[in-house]
Structure 1
Amino acid sequence: MASFHHRIKSGKKGSATDHGAYIARQGKHRKKEEDLVATDYGNMPGWAQGDATLFWKASDKHERANGAAYREHEIALPEELTLEQQKELVRQLVPALIGNKPFQFAIHAPDAALGSGTNSHVHLMYSDREDDGIERSPEQTFRRYNAQHPERGGRRKDSGGKNSMELRDQMIATRKKCADIQNAALEKYGHAARVDHRTLKAQGIDRAPEHHLGQARIRGMSKEEREKYDARRQQLVGS
């Protein structure tokens, strides 16, 4: 039962290193590593090629106080696909959504708290700082961009200089791109199911949206509450 869940969020300065460890199930988060399917990183500057943690530590230390130390796409992966097919899908999503920006991703596949199967999803964590081919120190990487003399400033931020409407349009386009790539994978592997990035209203569906419940909240439900919620969820998605 394919359904579209794509949450775009950001983390404040000081939170990137721990979040990178969380999605990669490292350090104090290792106790959750049984649900880790795959993790990788890329597009890192020379000083962080061998360890993504170095990049997130530098972002936490040098990014502007009011800037985002990282941004993230949290995307549900179609459960119709096998884990290997989901990993292939993620490899397609990364360049399409991130471009040349530094990133780290992790695919988690915990047992579904409701129903059967797994609740496979990807955390795609990235920096707004675009690569322009100029080598910079960790500190300089996060300085303000200098348009006239790029070598003197930091990397340009992808979100810099855009108004709220431009950012909104960019978010909608990104969500559509994400849905299109998922649908291409579903078609490739012979599944009729499709996902839709649009709101239910835009799709002409007259019902309340399905709320995404976290694993902790679901675990706190009684067996009867889980069964009732799952039955309602199946009814809504199938309607």
Structure 2
Amino acid sequence: PEFADRSILWNSVEQIEKARDSQLAREIEAALPRELSGEQQLALVRAYVKDNFVDKGMCADFAIHDKGTGNPHVHIMLTLRPLKENGQWGAKCRKAYDLDENGQRIPDGKGGWKNHREDTTNWNDKGNVEIWRAAWAACTNRALEAAGHPALVDHRSYKRRGIDKIPSVHLGPAASQMEKRGIRTDKGEVNR
């Protein structure tokens, strides 16, 4: 319950990591549909985070940004260590011994055994990107449908969907503001 306070959560994450180059978290950023109200966007994010991360044992912290400029989005920070039932952090990985064809440990020639590290979860698996993107699209489409909007979101690229169209380049806030003031930017030129 104390992790409801984000500063306590992230201080705890930092304290458990011993290596100075440890990966503390994963960030996911997603666009929110402008067709949904702020309350509906919040419900969408909560449902997505619960179903895809919290229910799998991750702690998730999110912030919705909407400056009224037509780019509402959410930043989702996820822990990489599982949280055990007792409220303590679990290990990200464990030592696994290499075994020979008979299932016996292999000596390393130094008095120990050959071994390697195995992740305790699959949370850092790159294949999750596709799963999480598809889940975001499905969650977003359910929210849009419930709100009576016919718009649909698809997480796949134009190429994967068989659409012969060149995707635009994300301008970002600085280039966007420059373009609005009539200043041409390199990214804007690519899009034009």
State whether residues 62 and 143 of structure 1, in contact with CA within 8 Å, keep that contact through their aligned partners in structure 2: no
**Structure 2 letter corresponding to 1:70:** A
**Structure 1 letter corresponding to 2:154:** D
State whether residues 128 and 157 of structure 1, in contact with CA within 8 Å, keep that contact through their aligned partners in structure 2: no
Cα shift at 1:193 = 0.8
Which of 31, 46, 53 is residue 7 of structure 2 equivalent to?
Answer: 53
**Structure 2 letter corresponding to 1:103:** A
Aligned to 1:119: 71
In structure 1, C-alpha distance between the alignment counterparts of 2:169 and 2:121, rounded to whole Å: 30
Question: 171-180 vs 209-218, which deviates more?
Answer: 209-218
Q: Where in structure 2 are the equivalents of 1:28-67 lying within 5 Å?
A: 48-49=2-3, 51-63=5-17, 64-67=19-22
Which of 192, 195, 203 is residue 150 of structure 2 equivalent to?
Answer: 192
Aligned to 1:132: 84
Q: Measured at CA, do residues 222 and 87 of structure 1 come closer, stay the same or move farther in structure 2, by a change above 3 Å? A: closer
Cα shift at 1:62 = 3.4
In structure 2, C-alpha distance between the alignment counterparts of 1:180 and 1:144, rounded to whole Å: 29
Q: Which has the higher contact order (CA 8 A, sep 6+)?
A: 1
In structure 2, C-alpha distance between the alignment counterparts of 1:104 and 1:157, rounded to whole Å: 21
In structure 1, C-alpha distance between the alignment counterparts of 2:38 and 2:87, rounded to whole Å: 37
Partner of 2:182, secondary structure, is helix
Aligned to 1:81: 36
In structure 1, C-alpha distance between the alignment counterparts of 2:49 and 2:31, rounded to whole Å: 14
Q: Where in structure 2 are the equivalents of 1:136-151 lying within 5 Å?
A: 136=88, 141=89, 145=93
In structure 2, C-alpha distance between the alignment counterparts of 1:77 and 1:144, rounded to whole Å: 31
Unaligned runs of 5+ in 2: 97-118
Superposition TM-score, scaled by structure 2 size: 0.71
In structure 2, C-alpha distance between the alignment counterparts of 1:65 and 1:215, rounded to whole Å: 32
Aligned to 2:140: 182
Summarize deviations over 1:113-133 as a string: whole Å, max 9, x none: xxxxx3111111110122231
2:31 paired with 1:101: no
Aligned to 2:177: 219
**Structure 1 letter corresponding to 2:23:** A
Partner of 1:178, secondary structure, is helix
Cα shift at 1:223 = 2.1
Residues matched between the structures, number: 162
Cα shift at 1:222 = 5.1
Unaligned runs of 5+ in 1: 1-45, 113-117, 149-155, 234-239
State whether residues 186 and 192 of structure 1, in contact with CA within 8 Å, keep that contact through their aligned partners in structure 2: yes
Q: What percentage of residue pairs aligned between the two structures are identical?
A: 32
* Greater per-residue helix proportion: 1
Kindly report the root-mean-square deviation, in angstroms, between the aligned alpha carbons of the 2 structures.
2.8
Rg: which structure is higher?
Answer: 2
**Structure 1 letter corresponding to 2:134:** K
Cα shift at 1:144 = 5.5
Cα shift at 1:158 = 3.1
Summarize deviations over 1:30-83 as a string: whole Å, max 9, x none: xxxxxxxxxxxxxxxx6x435221221232343243432111111100111111
